[in-house]
Chains A and B, each alone.
Chain A
Amino acid sequence: MRKVFGAFVVKEIKHILRDVQTLIILIGMPIVLVILFGFAVKNEVNDAKIAIIDMAKDDLSLELTHQLSASNYFILSELPGSTNQIENIFRKGDAKMAIVFEPDFANKFYKDKKASMQLIADASDPNTANILLNYAQAIIRNFQNEKNKNAHVPYLINMETKMLYNPTLKSVVYFVPGIMTIILMLISAMMTSITIAKEKEKGTMEILLASPLNPSLIVIGKVAPYIILALFNAATIIALGIWIFDMPLVGSFGLLTGEILLFILASLSLGVFISTISQTQQVAMMISLMGLLLPSILLSGFIFPLESMPKVLQAIANIIPAKWFIQILRGIMVKGVGIDFLWKQTIVLAGMTLFFIAVSIKKFKIRLE
């Protein structure tokens, strides 16, 4: 029996190795994606084009304009004469934000103690608009504090603000675990769901099922080579994250390895589950692509914080395996916490894995009897 099983695993490994083109895709794809997304998927905005309408043109407005454009966030693109032109600039997409200084800006600041300026954002992309407004306000606040430096104020509460885990607020720290998770999960789930669905479609699954091997052994045999492949992918992804993107690895390496293995098992069993509910390869593919891709990106906390979502979505997010693993990765790599803080996530992932395996085996047995 063990011999048969061994022979079977060898057959599966040979299958994968023979298809060189697919193998290259499977090994190369995660590497390309991690590098590409590691650099490109961020929410810090740099070099956003802004238009400045300076109706004062005095020392103070020029100084502030200079500070705005000296920051990494903005570059000056347009200097229109009047606010009427803003509409046109936005429509053509030449600037994302316009900043308007009122006339006589400096005088009003020093004499009336109150000068006004207006920030107009192109909010057709509300996320960017939000970020840009925050940046501009922070720069203006600093500028104002700088000007008031000498006035000491009593009764002022000192706010000691501390940014834990990521003091320089780098966005890679936030996004890289998500990127790793998405790639690992989709590849693992996709690979298994398709291979098994393919055997079903071609009818070769029946031959295997008619063999003396137990159906669950057959599934394990099909999945085993992919565990190795997925582990290899995980190792490259983690290594790239650490070497290229300076991801910290504060926590325990052993725990990280264990959790990765658990997540790979969860993803592979999800793939097996998908294949048992779909009759043809195409259906399996569409479910693992259409069904998993966007929800895993949007409902996992990868890019958009889950807490900001409506309660219903937060509840739905609980069934997304990626959500739990992203929390685990951030916990181990960035926060450096141990299993005492991550037991909940671990149990959920383990539970999901068992659920998928149990349902799949049940389905296989039904077909066999």
Chain B
Amino acid sequence: MRTILFIIQKEFIQIFRNKGMLPILFVMPFIQLILLSYAADYEVKNIKLNIIDNDMSHASRLIVSKFQANKHFDIVHFGASAKQGFDDLNAGEADLFVHIPMGFEKKLIQEKDGSIQITADAVNGVKASIATGYAQNIIASFNKQFLKSLKHPVGMMPKPAIDVTYSNWYNPQLNYKNFMVPGILVMLVTMIGAFLSGMNIVKEKEDGTIEQLNVTPIKKYQFIIGKLTPFWILGMIILTIGLVIGKIIFAIPMVGSLGLIYGFTAIYLLLILGLGFFISTITTTQQQALFLAWFVLVIFILMSGLMTPIESMPKWAQVLTKFNPIAWFVEFNRRVLLKGSSFLDVKYFFFYIAIAAVVMNVAAVANYRKRA
């Protein structure tokens, strides 16, 4: 036991002595948490619109003003020609252009027919279809208004319609920050844990200090526990600060039990640190360890379901996410923080992560050999 305490003490001294590292551990994560939580949003806002009114009639002006008033659109140009519309799309100056052709109003009144062109930059398909949907709604609403204003309303039967109402549970305003803040926090804690532990043993290998430790009577388990504990404590502290930030700055609802989150993080960190140590034992330089850790983490992060839905992945990739601890944690947070799931609802999360943590650490200890 005393041996472990000596190792823990040494690790802490080394962490806090590295002045360049402190801001990276205690400032950068929180700046990122605060800033990046605002970044991730699939809601389509501020669509850059180029509207070309070649008709300049009462009707066309009314349509333009409707676009101006709509909160989804940001009119960047009142274009003169279709060519300019295409140029804007090419240059990325606009996402969408709406072209009202010359003689639009006249044709609508006289020929009871009219047409408007909507052209979207569809590189981002989802965004394009949502944006054109908004534009169509605006034109349709003009259309309705126009029909009503006719002196001789068209005598026709109303069409049967399905009235769709919708509601978003757990997060009625679709406040994506409720979702992103805990998610980004998990990623930051994971990265710090995995990188620090991943580079730790390998650094002692590179510096040659590991040989000295290996001829001391330190036992394997003492070594691993002594090395794990400081990073574990660090991870819990970062999590705590992050949750406080989430609560104060973002007012994240915490429906479920905070104890559940802590309990889960405690086990989760063991898994992540074990992963780091495992990487440390199979590499010989910090550079290799880092590349390997980065490789694993970038996969974990991009395939966690936080950035893009897991449902969009092909089946085999969905299976892979079962081996992705970040995906588990993201889902766990969602359930507990937002839906208020109880321990019984999420008990298999604990079970799964605990088993993974044991496997990872056993592998790391087995791989860490005091003698060759």
Contact = CB atoms under 8 A, between A and B. Distances in A.
Given A22-B291, A41-B302, A118-B165, A129 B174 contact: yes
A295 interface: yes
B290 A289 contact: yes
Contact of A125 (B18, B161, B309, B345): B309
B108 A157 contact: yes
Contact of B91 (A125, A171, A299, A337): A337
Contacts of B95: 307
Classify the secondary structure of A's interface with B. helix
B170 interface: yes
B179 interface: yes
A144 B115 CA distance: 22
A29 B299 CA distance: 11
Interface residues of A, number: 119
A42 to B, nearest CB: 4
Contacts of A163: 120, 122, 125, 128-129, 132
B13 interface: no
B313 A126 contact: no
B21 interface: yes
A42 B313 contact: yes
B287 A165 contact: no
Contact of B164 (A137, A286, A291): A137
Nearest to A49: B311
Contacts of B21: 282-283, 286
A141 to B, nearest CB: 8
A134 B134 CA distance: 11
Given A91-B345, A307-B46, A164 B126 contact: no
B100 to A, nearest CB: 10
A307 B290 contact: no
Contacts of A44: 125-126, 312
Contacts of A327: 92
A280 interface: yes
Contacts of A22: 285, 287-288, 291
A37 B302 contact: yes
A209 B342 CA distance: 62
B259 interface: no
B5 to A, nearest CB: 24
A337 B87 CA distance: 10
B32 to A, nearest CB: 6
Given A29-B291, A134-B133, A316-B35, A128 B311 contact: yes
A289 B294 contact: yes
Interface string B79-105: 000000011011110010000000000
Nearest to B99: A160
Contact of A127 (B35, B140, B146, B176): B176
A161 B69 CA distance: 21
Interface stretch (A5-13, A146-154, A356-364): A146-154
Contacts of A234: none
Interface of B: 18, 20-21, 24, 28-29, 32, 35-36, 38-48, 74, 86-87, 89-92, 95, 108, 112-130, 132-133, 135-136, 139-140, 142-143, 146-147, 150, 154, 156-172, 174-176, 178-179, 184, 187-188, 191-192, 195, 199, 203, 283-288, 290-292, 294-295, 297-299, 301-303, 305, 307-309, 311-314, 317, 320, 331, 334-335, 338-339, 341, 345
22 contacts: A22-B287, A37-B303, A40-B314, A110-B160, A114-B160, A116-B165, A119-B167, A121-B169, A126-B42, A130-B42, A155-B150, A157-B115, A158-B115, A160-B116, A169-B128, A171-B126, A283-B21, A286-B24, A291-B28, A299-B36, A304-B42, A341-B87
Given A159-B115, A159-B116, 15 more contacts: A40-B314, A93-B331, A115-B162, A156-B143, A157-B114, A169-B128, A186-B298, A195-B287, A282-B286, A290-B24, A290-B195, A291-B24, A294-B188, A298-B36, A304-B40
